[in-house]
Structure 1
Amino acid sequence: MLDPVQLLSAYCEGAFPMGDESGRISWFRPPYRGILPIGDFHVPRRFARYLKDHPFEVRWNTAFGDVMRGCADRPETWITDTILDSYEALHRLGFAHCVEVWRGGRLVGGVYGVAIGGAFFGESMFSRETQASKVALTHLQWRLKERGYIVHDTQWTTPHLASLGGYEIPCSQYLDLLDRAIRLPVTFDERPLGAQMVFR
């Protein structure tokens, strides 16, 4: 398992880990960073109608490990056992969080990530029903805005994220923004953070 202090300190420096099939952990800090705007996040009109017509139950932090396993359930994944154990440890410490989408008592989608100060580092999402991951991401954006976050880091920008307003910025600009964000006294939920960790 990755040391929690090392892992969170890496996030504060703009780096994040990924595993591979051999079990090796590699660290990344891309030259351009994907960002999903929070303050001016826009829900497309068609999707707003979908949300109204297809109600899901949304929960927070009740099935973190299951959300990670849902994200890992694909032919190729970077979410190895080491990554899973490490982020479950961060979840127990109050730094990793998930949004869960349920229907009929079944987990059908979700997203998880790491929160430090006013920065949320989105890691992965999954969907077992049409639009379920988008529902999770939309509720996450609303939570981040409500709580006063200023950064939603998506690592890279995909066509799906671009459709929601995602874009890329140079790493130097991202690091300046990140430095401001992690100093903000905001929290994702009411759970106390563990171990009184100090990273910078």
Structure 2
Amino acid sequence: MQYDIDTIIQGYAQGYFLMADDNNSLGWYGSRDRTLIPLDERFRYPKSLQRVLNQEKFTVAINRDFPAVVAGCANRETTWISPELAEIYYLLYQTGYAYSFETWQGDELAGGILGIVIGGAFIGESMFYQIPDGSKVAMVKLVERLRQQGFVMFDAQMMNPHLERFGAYSINDQEYQTLLETALSSSCNLI
């Protein structure tokens, strides 16, 4: 199937995101409340994770195995990442918009975060782990990287208990659109 990357990026730039439903039909979704991961001092994580970080048992990579991260994110009982959406992510990756932020333990992929970068916005699509703490370490290291590179926002789309532990917070759509506009006028690189 042929996809228009510009149209897809335009949808994300307007605050929408793609998801597949139970029938694997792809659609654009929005939300009245959006979840952000703070890129300032409000970002936090459990003390037990600091011990894991101090052990340095994971290494971090960007796009070392993008397809494996997409597959890992889709590998759950109920997923919004249909084969068609996985194909779109791969096209976005090939055109420099989608990234996988990965943790590795030796040669084994431990976990990762899949996201889309537009200007100074990192739009987190999904995350997964194969080795305990793999995705948590990826989250901490990704926030460090986004800060270093001057990103304006880390959009996590929807709240869940896992994200709350990192200081995630919700904002209304009007606040989100204002912040997104600021982020889109920035030029940031993840790599």
CA distance in 2, matches of 1:186, 1:74: 32
Offset at residue 165 of structure 1 (A)? 0.5
- In structure 2, runs of 5+ residues without a counterpart are none
CA contact (8 A) 1:21 1:80 kept: no
Offset at residue 54 of structure 1 (A)? 5.2
> What is the aligned partner in structure 1 of residue 23 from structure 2?
22
1:145 alignment partner, SS class:
helix
Offset at residue 171 of structure 1 (A)? 0.7
CA contact (8 A) 1:99 1:111 kept: yes
TM norm structure 2? 0.94
- In structure 1, runs of 5+ residues without a counterpart are 190-200
> What is the aligned partner in structure 1 of residue 87 from structure 2?
85
Q: Say whether 1:101 aligns with 2:103.
A: yes
CA distance in 1, matches of 2:78, 2:187: 37
CA distance in 1, matches of 2:40, 2:99: 20
Aligned Cα root-mean-square deviation (Å): 1.3
Offset at residue 22 of structure 1 (A)? 2.2
CA distance in 2, matches of 1:3, 1:11: 13
CA contact (8 A) 1:3 1:86 kept: no
> What is the aligned partner in structure 2 of residue 68 from structure 1?
70
Deviations 1:125-181, CA, capped at 9 Å, x for gaps: 001111111011111111100000011000011111111100100011100000011
CA contact (8 A) 2:116 2:124 kept: yes
Q: How high is the sequence identity, in percent, across the aligned residues?
A: 35
Q: Give 1:27's aligned amino acid.
A: W
1:99 alignment partner, SS class:
strand
TM norm structure 1? 0.90
Q: Say whether 1:137 aligns with 2:122.
A: no
Moved over 6 A (4+): none
CA distance in 1, matches of 2:129, 2:97: 23
> What is the aligned partner in structure 2 of residue 192 from structure 1?
none
